[in-house]
């Protein structure tokens, strides 16, 4: 990336929030560079960054980047500023609600949810985050799976087709990963784990059959669910794993190059499923093609095991070209530091 020129780095420049996020977002997404991103956000919130120009979406994306590098303090302050500037934006309010139930108290979350609801049902209805975050709050924090599922079921008729993927994906979080409460225990269908898994599987299949946008992500989710389910059915385990691999084929065939759901997610799930199927040579080929940032310690152990089982050695795809990556990273960090310096100087000049 070339150095930002004076017009791009001006404090008064339009979309300056986007300029910052263009630089920091890749650092925040990668486990190897999140520490750098966290430091940048610490520096940013020490300035009067409320003077930056940006649309609600740009502020939302900047807060998301802060969350991705686990800088909750920065995420909190960025959303506070963004909501002050854009108080009627549904996504910003929903993000604040999610932050409060994830890192605050139940009372904090209830207050934030009330603020979203005050925008009006007609306004919030088309926004998938309104339904998904409410369902998450109900199932994970209020122990009410039944109401949470009702929220998601309602959303299917209110959220635009382009955003339905996010609703379908939340059925797993609500039904399998959520917590049952007193009312749920009165309904056996809410506590029978096998039945809940089947309900999630049916919803995933339904979303795929509808041909929703980025449906390949549901195919990966379904393959993951089937792989987990295979452990409970030893007689049919290989059959179930083979079905999971077929859904990963579908995911690869229908991939839409969505940056939020990268292609390598498909291949990582395929490699793990192939390991479960004891197809070690095929799994090893995939492990070798994955970028280094996806190879945490457990995945590296799995890859080395596959290599040992096939009499081969394991080296990852990113062993070469590291100097070029380091050079790009150094350039990106330098640009971020220049942004902070200019932002601080801009505030001093105004004073």
In the chain (351 residues long), the average pLDDT of successive 10-residue segments reads 36 63 88 89 90 93 95 97 97 98 95 97 97 97 94 97 96 93 86 91 95 93 95 93 97 88 93 97 94 86 95 73 56 66 56 48
Check residue 85 and give its pLDDT: 96
Query: Which of 108, 24, 128 lies closest to 68 in space, CA to CA?
Result: 24
| Token duo for residue 314 | 């394991």
Residue 152, both tokens: 């998601």
* Neighbour-count burial for 242-262, b at 16+ CB within 10 Å, e otherwise: ebbbebbebbeeebeeeeebe
Question: What does the pLDDT read at residue 340?
Answer: 66
**pLDDT for residue 349:** 54
Q: How far apart are CA 268 and CA 251, in angstroms?
A: 12
Given CA atoms 153, 178, 211, 239 in this order, what sign does their dihedral have?
A: negative
pLDDT at 326: 55
- C-beta of residue 306 within 8 angstroms of C-beta of residue 284: yes
CB 165 within 8 A of CB 218: yes
Please state, in angstroms and rounded to a whole number, the distance separating the CA atoms of residues 255 and 270: 14
- Cα separation, 283 vs 267, in Å, equals 9
| Range list of β-strands (E), 129-239 | none
Q: Is 2 exposed, middle or buried (0-12, 13-18, 19+ CB in 10 A)?
A: exposed
Cα 343 to the chain's mean position, in Å? 29
If DSSP codes are grouped into helix, strand and coil, which group holds residue 44? Answer: helix
114 contacts: CB under 8 Å, gap ≥ 6? none
Are residues 281 and 306 in contact, defined by beta-carbon separation less than 8 angstroms?
yes
β strands within the chain, DSSP E: none
Report the half-sphere exposure of 182 (CA within 13 A, side-chain side).
Answer: 0
- pLDDT at residue 331, rounded to an integer: 64
**Residues 205-251 pLDDT 10s:** 999 999 999 999 999 999 999 999 999 888 999 999 999 999 999 99
CA 251, CA 247: separation in Å to the nearest integer?
A: 6
Which pLDDT score is estimated for 13?
39
pLDDT at 137: 97
Instruction: Yes or no: say if 322 and 348 are a contact pair by the CB < 8 Å rule.
Output: no
Contact yes or no for 251/216 (Cβ under 8 A): yes
Domain boundaries, the chain: 1-87+322-351, 122-213
pLDDT for residue 259? 78
DSSP 222: H
What tokens does 73 get?
A: 């303090």
Q: Distances in Å between the alpha carbon of 209 and those of 8, 205, 244, 311? A: 45, 6, 16, 42
CB 223 within 8 A of CB 247: yes
């Amino acid at each position: 990336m070339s150095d930002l020129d004076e017009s791009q780095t001006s404090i008064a420049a339009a979309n300056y929030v986007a300029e910052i996020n263009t630089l920091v977002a890749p650092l925040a997404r990668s486990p190897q560079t999140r520490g750098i991103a966290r430091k940048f956000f610490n520096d940013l919130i020490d300035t009067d960054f409320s003077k930056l120009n940006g649309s609600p979406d740009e502020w939302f994306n900047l807060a998301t980047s802060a969350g991705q590098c686990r800088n909750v303090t920065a995420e909190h302050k960025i959303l506070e500023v963004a909501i002050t500037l854009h108080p009627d934006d549904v996504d910003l309010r929903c993000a604040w609600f999610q932050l409060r139930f994830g890192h605050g108290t139940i009372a904090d979350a209830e207050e934030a949810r009330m603020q979203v609801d005050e925008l009006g049902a007609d306004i919030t209805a088309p926004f998938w985050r309104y339904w998904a975050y409410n369902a998450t709050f109900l199932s994970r924090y209020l122990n009410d799976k039944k109401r949470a599922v009702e929220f998601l079921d309602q959303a299917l008729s209110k959220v635009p087709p382009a955003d339905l993927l996010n609703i379908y994906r939340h059925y797993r979080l609500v039904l399998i990963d959520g917590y049952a409460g007193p009312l749920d225990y009165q309904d056996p269908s809410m506590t029978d784990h096998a039945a809940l898994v089947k309900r999630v599987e049916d919803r995933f299949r339904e979303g795929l059959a509808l041909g929703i946008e980025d449906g390949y992500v549901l195919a990966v989710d379904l393959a993951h669910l089937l792989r987990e389910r295979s452990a409970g059915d030893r007689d049919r385990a290989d059959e179930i794993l083979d079905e999971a691999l077929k859904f990963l084929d579908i995911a690869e065939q229908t991939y839409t190059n969505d940056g939020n759901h990268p292609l390598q997610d498909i291949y990582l799930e395929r490699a793990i499923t192939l390991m479960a199927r004891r197809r070690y040579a095929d799994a090893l080929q995939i492990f070798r093609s994955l970028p280094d940032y996806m190879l945490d310690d457990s995945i590296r152990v799995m890859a080395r095991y596959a290599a040992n089982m096939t009499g081969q050695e394991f080296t990852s795809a990113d062993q070469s070209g590291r100097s070029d990556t380091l050079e790009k990273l150094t350039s990106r960090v330098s640009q971020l530091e220049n942004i902070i310096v200019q932002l601080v100087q801009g505030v001093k000049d105004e004073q």
